[in-house]
Structure 1
Amino acid sequence: MVIGGQVINPARVAENFANYAKEREQLIQAITQARIPGVLFLTGDRHHTILHQLDRSGTYPLYDLTVSPLTSGTARPGDEDLRQPTVVNGTLVTDHNFAILDVTGPLKDRVLSIKIFDANGTQRWTRDIRATDLR
């Protein structure tokens, strides 16, 4: 799901769904109750890149990949952002950057490859998320 503000980050900062706690919880519960597989949030507008992962009991984790900016000003997230248990270590990039997402593999075993590059094209980090891990 592509959406402007972060969904998984529980910090009540910026344009983040945590500012709408009831609606955020309803959304996560609806995904869980309907057993919707493969949900991954693609978000932006935080002027940095970071990956959040929300582990959920009895089902797959939800991911929120925030990617920005390539051309606008950069910003380092505050301590409240970075102390959240959903932050995936090693994924924060605070300078100009962009992502390349590749989906590969056989139909029943797709892999989403996330590659983050700085403005010079140097790869900063990569993560693979298997479709089988999102069921």
Structure 2
Amino acid sequence: MLKNVLSLLLSRFYSKQESELVGHQAMPSGTSTTLLSNAAVSDWGTVSSGVAASDGYLVLTAKNAGNAGASLSLSVREFARQSLTYPFIGAGGNAFVPIGKGDSWALIGSSSENITLILFKTIGGG
């Protein structure tokens, strides 16, 4: 019953084509901004921080720089966090975190190289 009522209300306001567009607004677009490229960190500390210029996804890639205890942690407004821990020297990895326009982010870690952080805007913008 509730599904039928919602369907009726939605059909009054947008067509099926518009409904499909609305459903894709949270998906990443091809538009991106490189925030950090080929960076490195040896001792534990802050690698970089900033504020998102748009809604999107932060995509982090990095590689172990020669220490078995290497790791990186990417946090967004202290509520969303992704961590990379490298199991052996030379290992690499990647992670992503959704972020809203105006949200602050911080990247901390140690013994990492080839660190790249890219913000992929969402299709819906913001």
Structure ranking higher on relative contact order (CA contacts 8 Å, 6+ apart):
2
The answer to whether TM tops 0.5 is no
Larger Rg: 2
State the TM-score, normalized to the length of structure 2. 0.29
Pick the structure with more helix per residue: 1
State the TM-score, normalized to the length of structure 1. 0.28
